[in-house]
Amino acid sequence: MFSSRLTEAGVVPERIDTPAQARAVIEADGAAVVGGIHTEEQALDFASKVLGDKLVRLGRQFEASMRNHEREAAVVDAQPVDGRGRKRSFGNPGERMTAHNDGFAFGDYAPDYLFLWCKRPAESGGDSFLIDAWKLSELLAADPATADLAEFCRSVDIDHSEPNFPQGTYSPIVRTVASGRVQARYHPYLAPVPGSTRPEDAEMIGRWSDTVLHVRDNGPMFRAGAGDMICVDNYRLLHGRDGYTDPARELYSIWGWTTDAVAVPANQLDIVVPDLAALAG
Ligand SMILES: [Fe+2]
């Protein structure tokens, strides 16, 4: 049974025009959307102005298209089940995506900002959703029935790695990082720390997962049109999209790291083979 208030964590981004407006709205709501972006150069230029003086690293991460998905998903499908029975999958584009922070496989090296540039939307389907996971943890904390889950999310270290790609570090689901930014995370492979003797941890992670999926399926959705770019605080918000089948859909994901990030990778990250050993450089 979920409190009806939880869907208040769903975010429909406010439409803005300038990088300064984007910065202010992202700070307040976690995301904003700008239109009129028709080339990758324009997308990178706007994103770099949003991040301003704090920018450390910015670049196109990947192309979310049917063609690219099929190529990468085949490599991931061939990767083995891990020792705890976890198996990576990039999912089926025809189904609603699980909510996630981008770059979750990379732990502390995940980008703190994300720009989703829609070059061409799907003819139908593919609508977007955003969830303010930090606000969601606050809503859980405010309800006596779920305050224990909020406390778990804030205080118990868990394993944020993907199957077969250990991060070597453990941290809570919700935390405030050294720069003062809040970080609240979800992806489908969250697990107790390896060797944990606390069975309640797996149960709590399951409750967090159920809560996030409840908000995904009962909160607002919105549609990004051609030339729209959704600018996201990737530490605080989860994102995803509804299923689509249109092979002409083109969306580009741009990752940005600022001086607020916990860690910045030396090289471009590979989500197909997220090998953390290559990151520190
Ligand atoms: Fe994503």
The CA 97 to ligand 1 mean position distance, Å, reads 9
The CA 184 to ligand 1 mean position distance, Å, reads 15
**CA distance linking residue 104 with residue 111, whole number of Å:** 9
Q: Among 260, 163, 165, 156, which residue's Cα sits nearest to residue 199?
A: 156
- Per residue in 143-156, pLDDT (tens digit) is 999 999 999 999 99
Say what the pLDDT of residue 280 is.
59
36-40, 89-93, 137-141: which range is least confident on average? 89-93
Q: Is residue 277 part of a domain?
A: no
Q: What angle do CA 100, 105, 106 make, to 5 degrees?
A: 115
Residue 62, domain CATH? 3.60.130.10
The CA 116 to ligand 1 mean position distance, Å, reads 8
The CA 144 to ligand 1 mean position distance, Å, reads 32
The CA 145 to ligand 1 mean position distance, Å, reads 31
Q: Is residue 131 part of a domain?
A: yes
- Per residue in 186-195, pLDDT (tens digit) is 999 999 999 8
The CA 194 to ligand 1 mean position distance, Å, reads 26
Mean pLDDT of the chain: 94
Q: Is residue 279 part of a domain?
A: no
Per the model's pLDDT, the better-predicted residue between 59 and 217 turns out to be 217
The answer, yes or no, to whether residue 63 has pLDDT greater than 80, is no
Q: Is residue 106 part of a domain?
A: yes
Say what the pLDDT of residue 91 is.
86
Total structural domains within the chain: 1
The answer, yes or no, to whether residue 38 has pLDDT greater than 90, is yes
Structural domain of 44? 4-260
The CA 253 to ligand 1 mean position distance, Å, reads 7
CB neighbours (10 Å) of residue 157? 15
The CA 64 to ligand 1 mean position distance, Å, reads 9
**CA distance linking residue 208 with residue 230, whole number of Å:** 25
Partners of 168 in beta bridges:
none
The CA 148 to ligand 1 mean position distance, Å, reads 29
Band of residue 66 on the pLDDT scale cut at 50, 70, 90:
confident
* 135 and 128 Cβ atoms separated by less than 8 Å: no
Show Cβ contacts of residue 85 under 8 Å, excluding neighbours closer than 6 positions: none
Q: Is residue 267 part of a domain?
A: no
- Per residue in 233-258, pLDDT (tens digit) is 999 999 999 999 998 999 999 999 99
The CA 197 to ligand 1 mean position distance, Å, reads 32
